[in-house]
Amino acid sequence: MPSGTYLHTDLHTGLHTGLPAGEGLEERFKCAPGPGGWRYTSQRPDGVRTDLVVDARWRQIRVELVTPTWWLRGGVTGPEVAWVRAAEETGTEHAERASGFMADSPGFLIAVARSLELDEGAQADVRLVQVSGPSLSPLTTNWRWRLAGTSVYETETEPLPVSQYEVMDLSTGEVEAVHLAGDVVLAAPGIELTTLESPPNLLG
Residue pLDDT, tens place only, 87-112: 977 788 999 999 999 999 999 999 99
Smallest CA-to-CA distance from 145 within 163, 168, 127, 164 is with: 168
> What are the distances in angstroms from CA 24 to CA 18, 68, 96, 143?
13, 18, 32, 26
Average pLDDT over the chain reads 91
For residue 145, give the amino acid letter.
W
Q: pLDDT digits over 12-70, tens only? A: 544 344 444 456 899 999 999 977 899 999 999 999 999 999 999 999 999 999 999 99
Residue-level pLDDT at 22? 52
In this structure, what are the phi and psi dihedrals at residue 59, rounded to the nearest 5 degrees? Answer: -80, 140
Smallest CA-to-CA distance from 72 within 88, 91, 87, 85 is with: 85
173 secondary structure, DSSP code: -
What is the residue extent of each domain of the chain?
Answer: 3-196
Question: pTM score, two decimals?
Answer: 0.91
Smallest CA-to-CA distance from 80 within 91, 63, 94, 65 is with: 94
* Cα dihedral 10→66→184→4 (10° resolution): 90
